[in-house]
Structure 1
């Protein structure tokens, strides 16, 4: 194993009256791709800042190979005192070169001349990414990099990180992002840090094995107190298994919904019985909405029935918020009509989390300061309800300002899900949530009796929750697809491939590539064939990691689990070599014009 470029030995940090964690050892190799996983409040962001050298530890020694450039992408960039996004990107002693920043900004689709004070969360996040990537890091530390990004930006960042020749550690709630990019996992759990040389695709199976072993050890010791400490973990294990059953039910619901959607994707119901009519909650007919000369929504029709889970996806500015406001009756269309059932009673959970005043206590937010809370008609003690949402009951007296961003989001969900409603509107609900809370949210949505409208860029979350996806491409036309994000992508793929083929046919040069680049025969062959080989290797890794994700695999066949993990490691090495070879050839092609 190559010597690490960055190490932290015997790391310890005091938070409040005690140790947040202690005796942690971290070693980062030259091309490590590490996922940092842990519950909200476990200290992931703090750990990342310690590794970056931004915070000082109370114990331990940080070692860095001379000349190694470590760059930290913060979760919430501070734009105080900078007039424009460009001023922020080019600020500081180690500011990137302006031409490099502009090149990345162009690819990422961000106007750096935008005033900082009026920049949206997505624009601020893009600016922070431009700054971090343009600084030419050797080690890149990413704290929730996909927050506030649309799907196009997330996919661009994925592609950039696949080509990145340095090391990175990433904190993210985006399962798809982590599965596609990471090769090893750091798990921060109850003050301890474990490392496994398996990417995020094998994380669930690994944690199940760890929890099972801990439970067996606790039972052997007959330590009731220790067993009680595992109530959360046993709940997480059961929740994951229940969610597998919910996925089967979700597929059945999608099949039923597909039969109700016309072949052109206009969402015309094929059944018109009285029973269906009584279930109809939202009906949009030939809806068009314009802002000035731009048509945001064009001739859109949809019938939403009780129990539907509708996902809304698309790039920033494509019209997702406009569509959501039309479907909830907040705004009216310029043409067409939207009808809402008279009995519709909605709860809207927005991105701003306005209810989370820092000075309030948790008990005030949940139960107006009392001990009991009515949860959709059922009376529950506030301590018990906190446990259902993965909180320690002692947090009832904590102030909101002391909670992490993810804990605040989870508390808001707990508050809003307690209310009686038959329509739930979730605008980017997965931002700042940890993976265990995402499992919980998936479960709650699955059990919800009413209709759910979800705007999200979290691809895995949509695939696990929604029955219908509304896809916006910015042209005003909306795809209506029975299924989740991957189903929408599959529908769009023939169209996008057709456009690419037409563009290639028009712009293709007359001279062959070999004559133009003057590569040798072998180099030209590698340049042409390696991208396909890399895709094959990636597909194989994804397939094998999906097998590792089976919670029963490790228990049934530990040796097979180890062999498959080793095979994945070998495949990743082959992929790295192929990528490096192709990058070298690509540089030659560029240099030769």
Structure 2
């Protein structure tokens, strides 16, 4: 094994009245791709700050090869004190070159001239990513890098990291992101750390193996009860078995939903009024919605049945929030109609987490200061209910302001799922959650008797939870696809291939098909993927600008120009994809 470029030996840190962790040995090689895994509160973010040298440890020795440049991408970039995002991105003693920051910002679709004080979480995150990547670090530390990013930006970041020549350590709840990128895993657990030379794709099997080994060791040491209590709280093996059962049930529901699809891709089967299991709760027919000259939805129809779990995906500015507001009755369509069941009673968990005032106690949020909370018609003690959501009961008296972002999100879920409802609206619910809480959330959604509407960029989460995916492309068209994110991607791929096959016979009539590729054919085959990436980045950039709700009012000409640019870029991208697919088939022949 090559000598590491950065190491920490015997690392220990005191937090509160005890050690957060102690005796950690961490070694980072020049090309390591490390996933850092651990529960909320285990100290993952703190550990990254220690590795970066941003805070001092209470014990341990940090060594680093001279000249090694370490960059930390923080979970919540601080832009206070900067006039614009550009000022923020060009800060610091090792500030990157402005043209390099601009190049990455363009590909991420962020306008760095945006005022820092009014920038959204997604805009701040993109500016921070542009700054971090442009610094050309030797070691890159990434704390939840996909939070607040749309799918196109996440995929762009994945491609960048795949080409990156340095080392990185990443904390993320995005299973797809971790599986695609990481080669080794650091598991921070109960104050200690373990390393395995497997990527995140093998982590859960490794974790279960470790649990089984600990249980066997506990039996030998006659301390089984204590260890069992911990692992039952964690629920590793049991949760895996339950998840497998829920996934089988989910596949059955998707198959049923696929059988209902009409010729236009929208469920139109008439159901009996007394069939409560398939009762229609939202019925949208030929809905159109526009803002000025921009059509967000065009002739959209959807029948939502009780028990459906609907995932909504698309780029920034594609109209996800608009569609959500239309379905829930918060917004009226310009044309068409949307009918909702009179008994529909929904709760909304939004990205802002508005209910979590820092001065409140956990008990105040859950039970209005009392000891008991009503859940699905039965009373539960606050302490017992906290355990169900992976909290230590003693946290009941803690102030909300002392909780981590992930713990606040988990507490909000506990509060909202206790309320009686038959419609659940989740807007980016996975932000700030650890992997265990995501498993718990999937279970709760799977057991929820009502209807669920989910806006999310977490591909794995959608694949594990939703029965139908609504894919928005920003032109007003919505794909209605039974299944999850992967099913939607497959549907789009099929459509692109079909377009390419339709275009091929026209050329065949004009002249006999040749099996030999010309110089131009080979050049296009080589260069078109890069051009397609450029067009995707340009579309993402312009869609991010269109996402500003005040743009149409402030500058209608700019709004119209951006809309025209997006349409032109989409048309060129479609043509480029069709040309490349035809050439790829020719090359195979």
In the TM superposition, what is the alpha-carbon distance from 1:270 to its structure 2 partner? 2.6
Deviations 1:276-318 (A, max 9, x none): 5871100111111111111111110101000000000001110
The separation in 2 between residues aligned to 1:497 and 1:114, in whole angstroms, is: 39
8 A Cα contact 2:22 2:191, kept in partner: yes
8 A Cα contact 1:90 1:98, kept in partner: yes
1:532-571 to 2 correspondences below 5 Å: none
Deviations 1:432-470 (A, max 9, x none): 000000110000000000000000000000000000000
In the TM superposition, what is the alpha-carbon distance from 1:241 to its structure 2 partner? 1.1
SS at match of 1:301: strand
Given the superposition, is the C-alpha separation of residues 157 and 380 from structure 1 closer, same or farther in structure 2, using an over 3 Å criterion?
same
Deviations 1:344-364 (A, max 9, x none): 000100000011111111111
Aligned to 1:268: 267
1:45-84 to 2 correspondences below 5 Å: 45-84=45-84
Aligned to 2:470: 470
Aligned to 1:566: none
8 A Cα contact 1:307 1:450, kept in partner: yes
The separation in 1 between residues aligned to 2:173 and 2:72, in whole angstroms, is: 18
The separation in 1 between residues aligned to 2:373 and 2:19, in whole angstroms, is: 33
8 A Cα contact 1:310 1:453, kept in partner: yes
The separation in 2 between residues aligned to 1:37 and 1:401, in whole angstroms, is: 24
8 A Cα contact 1:9 1:61, kept in partner: yes
Answer yes or no: is 1:335 the counterpart of 2:343. no
The separation in 1 between residues aligned to 2:472 and 2:212, in whole angstroms, is: 44
When the two structures are aligned, how many residues end up with a matched partner?
Answer: 517
The separation in 1 between residues aligned to 2:275 and 2:103, in whole angstroms, is: 53
Aligned to 2:303: 303
Given the superposition, is the C-alpha separation of residues 452 and 31 from structure 1 closer, same or farther in structure 2, using an over 3 Å criterion?
same
8 A Cα contact 1:232 1:390, kept in partner: no
The separation in 1 between residues aligned to 2:443 and 2:373, in whole angstroms, is: 20
8 A Cα contact 1:211 1:233, kept in partner: no
The separation in 2 between residues aligned to 1:300 and 1:375, in whole angstroms, is: 36
SS at match of 2:284: strand
Aligned to 1:105: 105
Aligned to 1:486: 486
In the TM superposition, what is the alpha-carbon distance from 1:231 to its structure 2 partner? 4.3
The separation in 1 between residues aligned to 2:235 and 2:149, in whole angstroms, is: 31
1:285-304 to 2 correspondences below 5 Å: 285-304=285-304
The separation in 2 between residues aligned to 1:344 and 1:366, in whole angstroms, is: 23
Given the superposition, is the C-alpha separation of residues 332 and 5 from structure 1 closer, same or farther in structure 2, using an over 3 Å criterion?
same
Aligned to 1:436: 436
The separation in 1 between residues aligned to 2:361 and 2:477, in whole angstroms, is: 45
- Normalising by the residue count of structure 1, what TM-score does the alignment of the two structures yield? 0.84
Answer yes or no: is 1:207 the counterpart of 2:207. yes
SS at match of 2:391: coil
The separation in 2 between residues aligned to 1:4 and 1:495, in whole angstroms, is: 48
Answer yes or no: is 1:457 the counterpart of 2:457. yes
Could you tell which deviates more after superposition, 495-504 or 37-46?
A: 495-504
8 A Cα contact 1:409 1:433, kept in partner: yes
1:61-210 to 2 correspondences below 5 Å: 61-210=61-210
Q: Which runs of 5+ in 2 are unaligned?
A: 508-516, 531-589
Aligned to 1:354: 354
Could you tell which deviates more after superposition, 226-235 or 414-423?
A: 226-235
SS at match of 1:425: strand
The separation in 2 between residues aligned to 1:96 and 1:196, in whole angstroms, is: 34
SS at match of 2:142: strand
In the TM superposition, what is the alpha-carbon distance from 1:225 to its structure 2 partner? 5.2
8 A Cα contact 1:100 1:134, kept in partner: yes
The separation in 2 between residues aligned to 1:380 and 1:71, in whole angstroms, is: 46
In the TM superposition, what is the alpha-carbon distance from 1:494 to its structure 2 partner? 3.1
SS at match of 2:155: helix
The separation in 1 between residues aligned to 2:489 and 2:472, in whole angstroms, is: 12
The separation in 1 between residues aligned to 2:232 and 2:61, in whole angstroms, is: 33
The separation in 2 between residues aligned to 1:215 and 1:364, in whole angstroms, is: 37
Deviations 1:29-61 (A, max 9, x none): 000000000000000000000001111111111
8 A Cα contact 1:469 1:484, kept in partner: yes
Aligned to 1:580: none
Could you tell which deviates more after superposition, 223-232 or 140-149?
A: 223-232
8 A Cα contact 2:353 2:412, kept in partner: yes
- Normalising by the residue count of structure 2, what TM-score does the alignment of the two structures yield? 0.84
8 A Cα contact 2:12 2:57, kept in partner: yes
Aligned to 1:520: none
Aligned to 1:562: none
Computed over aligned residues only, the root mean square deviation of the Cα atoms, in angstroms, reads: 2.3
In the TM superposition, what is the alpha-carbon distance from 1:73 to its structure 2 partner? 0.3
The separation in 2 between residues aligned to 1:490 and 1:284, in whole angstroms, is: 25
